Chain A
Amino acid sequence: NAGVTQTPKFQVLKTGQSMTLQCAQDMNHEYMSWYRQDPGMGLRLIHYSVGAGITDQGEVPNGYNVSRSTTEDFPLRLLSAAPSQTSVYFCASTRGTQEYFGPGTRLTVT
């Protein structure tokens, strides 16, 4: 099993550009989540999904969209990047009480 994979590892965007952060898991987990981590803070939930076709907002959803067309994939879309979205993004999948985190994507918006 590859576990939870994220691409790209690093990305630099200009303000106003759009992009998609990819997240995939090969463990057949129903629950998947996106978090962001800013310096001096813990992770904050952006969006989550309880299964294919079902998504909902977390604590900080503004400026982000998600969809879940398959169990394996949970992409995060930035519609119009802003400097405030400079952060490290972690995707996670959940089996029971165990969370599995991806390696992260470091995003800089200039």
Chain B
Amino acid sequence: ELKVEQNPLFLSMQEGKNYTIYCNYSTTSDRLYWYRQDPGKSLESLFVLLSNGAVKQEGRLMASLDTKARLSTLHITAAVHDLSATYFCAVDMDGGTSYGKLTFGQGTILTVHP
């Protein structure tokens, strides 16, 4: 059974600081997703990582994937208040061979303070 674990689950940051959210998963997969969710809202797609060594960046967020270590990271650079949200990673249940079947991590609640 695929398990996806994120840490930390809660992250309180000061504006301007850097930090990393980790996502570990238990079985082989070549596809990993990162999502953002604001309170009471749906999920917003941030990144889809499709191969070992994949790195994607958008603004202050950068995601990477190491399929050998079964680890993805979401790095936040110079945090700003607008990044406050819950961040989820998710992995394809069938190791990257199917669609529409994701296993999610528990989520990391990020709060950025002035």
Chain A residues at the B interface, C-beta cutoff of 8 Å:
31-33, 35, 40-45, 48-50, 58-59, 90, 92-94, 96-99, 101-104
Find out whether the CB atom of A97 lies under 8 angstroms from the CB atom of B99: yes
Find out whether the CB atom of A103 lies under 8 angstroms from the CB atom of B104: no
Convert B42-68 into 0s and 1s, putting 1 for each residue whose CB lies closer than 8 angstroms to a CB of A: 110100101000000000000000000
Chain B residues at the A interface, C-beta cutoff of 8 Å:
4, 31, 33, 41-43, 45, 48, 50, 88, 90, 93, 99-107
For the complex formed, measure the closest distance between the CB of B77 and the CB atoms of chain A, giving whole angstroms: 25
Q: Once bound together, how far apart are the Cα atoms of A43 and B104, in whole Å?
A: 6
Q: Once bound together, how far apart are the Cα atoms of A3 and B107, in whole Å?
A: 25
Q: Which residue of B lies closest to A6 (CB)?
A: B42
Find out whether the CB atom of A42 lies under 8 angstroms from the CB atom of B42: no
Residue from B33, B100, B103, B107 with most neighbouring chain A CB atoms (10 Å)? B100
Contact A98 B48, CB 8 Å, known A42-B105, A90-B42: yes
Name the contact of B99 in the complex, choosing from A41, A42, A45, A94 (C-beta under 8 A). Answer: A94
Q: Chain B contacts of A43 at CB under 8 A?
A: 43, 88, 90, 102, 104
Q: Once bound together, how far apart are the Cα atoms of A40 and B104, in whole Å?
A: 12
Interface of A: prevailing SS: strand
Show 10 residue pairs from A and B whose CB-CB distance is below 8 angstroms, ordered by the A residue: A31-B100, A35-B104, A42-B88, A42-B90, A45-B93, A45-B101, A93-B100, A94-B99, A97-B48, A102-B42
Q: Which residue of A lies closest to B96 (CB)?
A: A97
Q: Chain A contacts of B105 at CB under 8 A?
A: 42
Q: Chain A contacts of B31 at CB under 8 A?
A: 97
For the complex formed, measure the closest distance between the CB of A82 and the CB atoms of chain B, giving whole angstroms: 23
Q: Once bound together, how far apart are the Cα atoms of A97 and B34, in whole Å?
A: 12
Name the contact of B106 in the complex, choosing from A41, A96, A98, A99 (C-beta under 8 A). Answer: A41
